[in-house]
Amino acid sequence: MKQTILCLALCLSFPLMAQREATVAIHPEQGKQVIPKEIYGQFAEHLGSCIYGGLWVGEDSPIPNTKGYRNDVLEALRKLKVPVLRWPGGCFADEYHWMDGIGPQENRPRLVNNNWGGTVEDNSFGTHEFLNLCELLGCEPYVCGNVGSGSVEELAKWVEYMTAEQGGPMAKLRKENGREKPWKVKYIGVGNESWGCGGNMRPEYYADLYRRYSTYCRNYDGNQLFKIASGASDYDYNWTEVLMRNVGGRMDGLSLHYYTVNNWEDKGSATEFTDEDYYETIGKCREIEDVLRRHIAIMDKYDPQKQIGLMVDEWGTWWDEEPGTISGHLFQQNTLRDALVAALTLDIFHRYTDRVRMTNIAQIANVLQAMVLTDGDRMLLTPTYHVFEMYNVHQGATFLPLELTCERRIVRRDRIVPMVSATASRDKEGVIHISLSNIDLNEAQVVTISLDNLPVRSVNGRILTSARIGDHNTFDRPDLVKPEDFKGAKLTSGGLRVELPAKSVVTLTVR
Ligand code: AHR
């Protein structure tokens, strides 16, 4: 995909300039690739208060709910236009036995969640509750099967239970449990992180298991499965090589996990960090582009027609758990820094959609880089939520190639970081949306945008920024970081001139 970043200046020290300049040349007539809406996918795991308390409170809860799902969260998620939701894990998936989560709630076993803090798992949220949630949100379900500790038969029966119309025993059982019609389930994951929590396997062994388990994931009654193999963790190119060689076209998608973490032994606070820490994080976040390129190059070798999708089904920031929260629940705050990580990562995904067909940020509520945080009956939208909402105009739109010139800096670990990020798309009505981020913590950027002489009548936009990069929303102050109208874009004879404030994300609508 064509987006070129040219270097204007490379400096180790930060020059004293009040404002900097960048150019973006967009080619509206050269768009070919549609940005799949699934690039904006989400992930919900039985982990901490993602499901219980975050999405699901049960019908008897005093918290306002619709059939057990929190109303405030449902309303917020609908505005995001969530296209696909991955469940039940993560690591949890490889210890999950789906039959524990069907039938009368009072008969479901209470178990221990061994992966995440030893919390009691009462199985009140199971297959019906998940698939009905997807229907309420209007999104595709992505069900991750248990290969680590489950049997081939168990996974085969789960697929039958969810998707077979009639005839077999699983369809009969589903009907007895109150669901007459099968659900449509497109995406099925065959294990998760099989190199780690999903069974500590070698890629050769997992490749054989994938072949075996996936054989019995049948297409029932017009339901067409898209089968996703458990893929590599960030820099493990050998895993991708072995899977492509030994599995190849038997999979429709191969996953990849990439977390923005500078140091796994000391991840750092979500809210207390230095400017240097911030730039280092941006450098690590942008490194996903190189990681994607390398996995894609391996996939291209075995699959030059690009039939197999690369599914980045876990990504996002991972900080120390918020002090005072339950250990193992991965509850973290979410600042303007996280918002910039989200914007930059989505910009990168847009450039590789000829291979990257789906991504799922981790996770949707109360865990890692969440969209919403809840506390009892209170809920707040995170800065990352706002980026996903501002960017949802790009879902299903045509990606527009562009060239960007801007200042670049060398940050910790010798990573080179462009100070501006940009992406553009044209929707079905012909409206162009341009998203721009200014990474610089102190200086504005003046961005000159050309559109190949396309006549432009109007421009308006919204901006996400705040006084400090560590600013975040709290239950007492839930609207500290939120989008505002943006007045800094003006029409010019050749296109647009945009004054992009320091540490900001802007989405423009151009007609
Ligand atoms: O998202 C949290 C965990 O991170 C997932 O359960 C696992 O797949 C990954 O290691």
pLDDT in tens, 410-439: 999 999 999 999 999 999 999 999 999 999
Residue 6, pLDDT > 70, answer no
- Rounded to whole angstroms, the Cα distance separating 372 from 50 reads 9
Q: Is the CB of 314 under 6 A from ligand 1?
A: yes
Phi, psi of 503 (to 5 degrees): 40, 65
Q: Is the CB of 231 under 6 A from ligand 1?
A: no
Q: Tokens 């610089």 belong to which residue?
A: 440
- pLDDT of the residue at 16: 41
Compute, in degrees rounded to 10, the torsion defined by CA atoms 296, 300, 305, 308.
Answer: -50
Q: Is the CB of 252 under 6 A from ligand 1?
A: no
CA of 205 to the centre of ligand 1 (A): 21
Counting from 1 in the atom list of ligand 1, the atom nearest the Cα of 314 is 1
Q: What's the rounded mean pLDDT across residues 75-81?
A: 98
476 burial via Cβ count (<10 Å: 0-12, 13-18, 19+): exposed
Residue nearest to atom 8 of ligand 1 (CA): 90
CA of 408 to the centre of ligand 1 (A): 33
Query: 174, 87, 102: which is closest to 133 by C-alpha?
Result: 87
Query: 140, 130, 22: which is closest to 395 by C-alpha?
Result: 140
- Cα 271–chain centre separation: 21
Would you state the structure tokens that stand for residue 357, as one six-digit string?
């067909």
- pLDDT of the residue at 4: 55
Q: What average pLDDT does the chain have?
A: 96
Would you state the structure tokens that stand for residue 201, as one six-digit string?
């396997």
Question: pLDDT band at residue 14, thresholds of 50, 70 and 90?
Answer: very low
CA of 196 to the centre of ligand 1 (A): 10
Q: What's the rounded mean pLDDT across residues 2-25?
A: 59
Would you state the structure tokens that stand for residue 268, as one six-digit string?
């750092």
Q: What's the rounded mean pLDDT across residues 61-88?
A: 98
H helix or E strand, kind and range, residue 289: helix 288-302
pLDDT (tens digit, 9 = 90+) per residue, 143-195?
A: 999 999 999 999 999 999 999 998 899 999 999 999 999 999 999 999 999 99
Counting from 1 in the atom list of ligand 1, the atom nearest the Cα of 115 is 6
CA of 16 to the centre of ligand 1 (A): 42
Residue numbers annotated as active site: 193, 314
Q: Is the CB of 193 under 6 A from ligand 1?
A: yes
Q: Is 378 strand, coil or helix?
A: strand
Counting from 1 in the atom list of ligand 1, the atom nearest the Cα of 89 is 6
pLDDT (tens digit, 9 = 90+) per residue, 191-226?
A: 999 999 999 999 999 999 999 999 999 999 999 999
Whole-prediction pTM: 0.96
CA of 312 to the centre of ligand 1 (A): 12
- 407 versus 14: which is more confidently predicted? 407
The residues, any chain, with a CB within 8 Å of residue 180's CB and separated by 6 or more, are: none
- Rounded to whole angstroms, the Cα distance separating 57 from 42 reads 19
- pLDDT of the residue at 167: 81
- pLDDT of the residue at 8: 45
Residue nearest to atom 4 of ligand 1 (CA): 90
CA of 91 to the centre of ligand 1 (A): 6
Instruction: Select from 113, 144, 257 the residue to mutate for testing ligand 1; criterion: most ligand atoms less than 8 Å from CB.
Output: 257
Q: Is the CB of 91 under 6 A from ligand 1?
A: yes
Rg (CA), the chain: 23
Question: pLDDT band at residue 3, thresholds of 50, 70 and 90?
Answer: low
Q: Is the CB of 170 under 6 A from ligand 1?
A: no
Counting from 1 in the atom list of ligand 1, the atom nearest the Cα of 93 is 6
Instruction: Select from 49, 92, 146, 193 the residue to mutate for testing ligand 1; criterion: most ligand atoms less than 8 Å from CB.
Output: 193
Question: pLDDT band at residue 9, thresholds of 50, 70 and 90?
Answer: very low
- Cα 281–chain centre separation: 17
Q: What's the rounded mean pLDDT across residues 345-350?
A: 98
Q: Which residues of 314-339 are buried (b: 16+ CB within 10 A; e: fewer)?
A: bbbbbbebbeeeeeebbbbbbbbbbb
Q: Is the CB of 89 under 6 A from ligand 1?
A: yes
Residue nearest to atom 9 of ligand 1 (CA): 90
Q: Is the CB of 366 under 6 A from ligand 1?
A: no
- pLDDT of the residue at 19: 66
Q: What's the rounded mean pLDDT across residues 301-327?
A: 98
Contact 83, 140 (CB under 8 A): yes
